[in-house]
Chains A and B, each alone.
Chain A
């Protein structure tokens, strides 16, 4: 339980608020790479602010506030030129750093141009995503987490959810929900709707544990029939502070990304890399992305797949969970740990320090701890995952299943 004031502070994203200032210390994906290949400028909303993100013909990326500093028309309808983005209304041109380069209707001899600047974000491309940083300079390094740089077949499911991102992140430190939401509830729905629920999600939790580490919180579990020697406990998987969760198992590696678009909208992305050993991966000219369903035709939540169940649990809490009337128990200690971590990191930012997960020395690849043998389910987890999780909506779902089966057969043949 929190007071209303604490809940208010925890769920803010606006500049000038402690949480908003903390969140502005990180890079966020704001577009798919392929979107700017198809058309070089588009709108993007991040932390309650509107931007125009663009790619110049020379291949440079930029992001400017959507409203032109001149007369506030949208730069998301701008003209992309070699040096930057030109406003469609009166032709003012801005460079990728926000410098005003041209004011066609103004007299040349004035210094008016030098007095105008669009506050620019910094932009980079990585792993099929366009990433933006809108915090104070100098920007930290964009973390090159393993899933974004590893070999394999990529696949991104996504949707926009009408709720605050913190209640989604609290789910990432809540192992017990798995056996109920993806176990008992899944079986209940399967019985009534006539499909098979994956058996591995329903295993009873014997023990859960949480450890703070340099990128966030490692979540551990022992399920019935397994022990502390198994991956789920020995390795676990991390909440990557402040808005990601790294999961995986059976040669599927995934980053669950929860971008705070604004206070009550979260872009949920499932960035997945299928990387089974023993098979050659096909070329991917661009990373396929696809929207996953949240509601059915009657406006009810789709709960016949794993992430659909999660989204139901997040969204039905309301746009912002009212934590003044919640009842946390001992099984929620991960949630209390995360709230404390948010508060600790707000305090660091207010002291002028870098918060957790902000780093400034380039690293080519950052490997995150993540279990391989998920829920003690062995190799069958990959097919269960594709059939009963968001990947089932992927345009390449069948090809992905064949990839895993082929790799399994190859490994078996190689082992003799």
Chain B
């Protein structure tokens, strides 16, 4: 999923702030802006402050996966949204 998304056009309708292009890792900052969840899965309110929302999206990396820790200020929903590189099932019981 990550690979497919990373081919998307930069910006992709998402407002880019002044941080894009600065720092040592501008590409990651740009991807973060593009890929971070914009709406609450619970109530569909905007999460991003730039979109008028009141939530928080904080990204961390777990191996090849990108995890977005989310909180919605409108309904209180909280959870992690994962851009998973692979989906693995469990191993069959012996």
A contact set with B: CB distance below 8 Å: 1-6, 9, 322, 324-325, 327-330, 332-333, 336-337, 339-340, 343-344, 346-347, 350
Q: Which of A1, A322, A328, A343 has the most CB of B within 10 A?
A: A1
Among A325, A330, A333, which residue has its beta carbon within 8 angstroms of that of B25? A325
B19 touches A3 (CB 8 A): yes
B78 with A340: CB separation less than 8 A? yes
**Are A336 and B23 closer than 8 Å at their CB atoms?**
no
Number of interface residues of B (CB under 8 A): 31
Interface of A (DSSP majority class): helix
Q: CB-defined interface of B51-88 with A at 8 Å, one 1/0 digit per residue? A: 00011111111110000010101001010000000000
Residue of B50, B60, B71 touching A330 (CB-CB under 8 A): B60
B73 lies within 8 A of A1 (CB): no
Q: Which chain B positions have C-beta within 8 A of A329?
A: 60-62
A339 touches B58 (CB 8 A): yes
Contact status B58-A336, CB under 8 Å = yes
- A356 to chain B: closest CB distance in Å? 14
Q: Which residues of A contact B1 (CB under 8 A)?
A: none
Q: Are A343 and B56 in contact (CB under 8 A)?
A: yes
Pull 14 A–B residue pairs with CB atoms less than 8 Å apart, ordered by A: A1-B60, A2-B56, A3-B17, A3-B19, A4-B19, A5-B50, A324-B32, A325-B28, A325-B29, A339-B58, A340-B71, A343-B55, A344-B76, A350-B54
* Contact call B58/A1, Cβ cutoff below 8 A: yes
Task: Establish whether residues A344 and B78, one from each chain, have CB atoms under 8 Å apart when the complex forms.
Answer: yes
Do B19 and A340 touch (CB < 8 A)?
A: no
How far apart sit A344 and B76, CA to CA, in the bound complex (Å)? 7
A322 adjacent to B23 (CB under 8 Å): yes
- Indicate if the CB atoms of A347 and B28 lie closer than 8 Å: no
**A333-B82 Cα distance, complex, nearest whole Å:** 14
Residue numbers in A under 8 Å from B23 (CB-CB): 322, 324-325
User: Which chain B positions have C-beta within 8 A of A347?
Assistant: 54, 71, 73, 76
Say yes or no: A340 contacts B49, CB within 8 Å. no
B56–A1 CB distance below 8 A: no
A1-B32, A325-B23 known; A6-B49 Cβ under 8 A? yes
Which of chain B's residues have a CB closer than 8 A to the CB of A5? 17, 48-50
Smallest Cβ-Cβ distance to A333: which chain B residue = B60
- B35 → chain A closest CB, angstroms: 11
A340 lies within 8 A of B56 (CB): yes
A residues less than 8 Å from B7 (CB atoms) = none
A324-B17, A344-B71, A350-B54 known; 13 new pairs, CB 8 Å cut-off, are A1-B60, A3-B17, A3-B32, A322-B19, A324-B23, A325-B19, A325-B22, A325-B28, A325-B29, A327-B61, A333-B60, A343-B55, A343-B71
Q: Do B60 and A6 touch across chains, with their CB atoms under 8 A apart?
A: no
Report if B18 contacts A (CB, 8 A): yes
B27-41 contacts to A (CB < 8 Å): 28-29, 32-33, 36
- B60: which of A4, A9, A322, A332 is its contact (CB, 8 Å)? A332
